[in-house]
Amino acid sequence: MCIISKYFIKNIIEKLLFLISIMLFPCISYSADFPVTVESCGQPLTFTEAPQRAVINDLNMSEMAFSLGLQNHIVGITGVSGWYKITPDFKLNQGSIPELAAKYPSLETLLAVTPDLFFAGWNYGMKIGGDVTPQSLAHYGIKTLVLSESCTFVDKRRPRATMDLLYGDEMKLGEIFGKREQALKLVASWKARVAAVQMKTDQQKPLKVFVYDSGEDKPFTSGKYAMPTAIIEAAGGKNIMDNLDASWVTTSWESVANNQPDVIILLDYQTGGGAETLQHFLESHPLMKQTPAVKNHHYVKLQYTELTPGPSNIDAVEKIANVLERTKSHQK
């Protein structure tokens, strides 16, 4: 009886969220035909037809495009193999799409394939003051869709990170490529999964979570504008560094230890021992080994795509929520 009830509730949630999602995303024109206009870091971006020669930067944004089946519209990806090991699933979805640059693409590299769209972000394929920017590409008639999470690097008035960063960007891709209905259904399914997590978690008493990306002298972590803050909150936790007015940022071990994290997220880039290397370091650190998370081995090991805006964020919410619930049970 309990199982039937859960499936019944989940079905109702999915239907409700699908209807709600149709009314959301006011920044997007929902006309069924072109032209369509979306917002990119506060600037309007208009398309008279679906891009046919898009270049997508990074693993997470490539997965966003692949989830809508946009491979036939993509002439290249960038910024993947130079940073991470490519999983078999990613390679399968990539198919015959070439990687144009292992890390950040140069302007010449992009111009060589005559793209009509570059989907990237600040510090996700573009650098402030670099040769590849929305302005430099516009000079050649190339439109740039900027990853919303990264807009904080050029606009400090942006709000703190929420899951709407993911949902909104996926809807923008759907609108730009004429896949609005598919994007609506996909986002509704993501929202349903997050809602199912939140029905089972205590959102009123969040456990304290620290995101450990890298660094030994000083840890590199997520501030209030980076996606992990949104993911942790959706899972029922609180990012102990969400008071930092930054996206990804360096902090001090003293600050982390003073916050006494209950759970630590270890970022696994799939290189050099990954999360295990970070864990071993924490367990030998004089301050961190005294924190509840380290003493009780309460870790969540996540990959890059799970902590940067993309479809894998939903998996991350579920994984973090499971560890938070186990941690609460341990504390009782």
Tell me the pLDDT tens digit for each residue of 261-311.
Answer: 999 999 987 655 689 999 999 999 999 999 999 999 999 999 999 999 999
- Given pLDDT bands bounded at 50, 70 and 90, which one contains residue 4? very low
Q: CATH homologous superfamily for 2-189?
A: Nitrogenase molybdenum iron protein domain (3.40.50.1980)
Q: What is the pLDDT of residue 16?
A: 52
Sheet with 207-212: strands ordered across: 237-239, 207-212, 263-268, 299-303
**Does pLDDT of 2 surpass 70?**
no
Tell me the pLDDT tens digit for each residue of 174-231.
Answer: 999 999 999 999 999 999 999 999 998 877 789 999 999 999 999 999 999 999 999 9
Cα–Cα distance for residue pair 137/119, rounded to 1 Å: 12
| Cα separations in angstroms, 7 against 188, 289, 301 | 16, 41, 29
Indicate the SS3 state at residue 32.
coil
Higher pLDDT, 87 or 15: 87
Q: What is the pLDDT of residue 5?
A: 43
Q: What is the pLDDT of residue 260?
A: 98
Q: What is the pLDDT of residue 1?
A: 32
Tell me the pLDDT tens digit for each residue of 160-175.
Answer: 999 999 999 999 999 9
Q: What is the pLDDT of residue 269?
A: 77
Tell me the pLDDT tens digit for each residue of 91-119.
Answer: 999 999 999 999 999 999 999 999 999 99
Segments making up each domain of the chain, as ranges: 2-189, 203-331
Q: What is the pLDDT of residue 13?
A: 53
Tell me the pLDDT tens digit for each residue of 228-244.
Answer: 999 999 999 999 999 99
Q: What is the pLDDT of residue 327?
A: 94
| Cα separations in angstroms, 49 against 67, 119, 254 | 20, 16, 53
Q: What is the pLDDT of residue 272?
A: 52
Fold match, 2-189 / 203-331: yes
Cα–Cα distance for residue pair 174/325, rounded to 1 Å: 35
- Given pLDDT bands bounded at 50, 70 and 90, which one contains residue 33? confident
Of 22, 39, 28, the residue nearest 191 (C-alpha): 22
Q: What is the percent of the chain with per-residue pLDDT over 90, rounded to a whole number?
A: 82
Is residue 55 within 8 Å of 78, Cβ to Cβ?
Answer: yes
Q: CATH homologous superfamily for 203-331?
A: Nitrogenase molybdenum iron protein domain (3.40.50.1980)
**Does pLDDT of 146 surpass 70?**
yes
Q: What is the percent of the chain with per-residue pLDDT over 70, rounded to a whole number?
A: 89
Cα–Cα distance for residue pair 187/314, rounded to 1 Å: 10
Q: What is the DSSP string of 205-269?
A: SPEEEEEE-B-SSS-EEE-TTSHHHHHHHHTTEEETTTTSSSSEEE--HHHHHHT--SEEEEEE-
- Given pLDDT bands bounded at 50, 70 and 90, which one contains residue 10? very low
Q: What is the pLDDT of residue 86?
A: 85
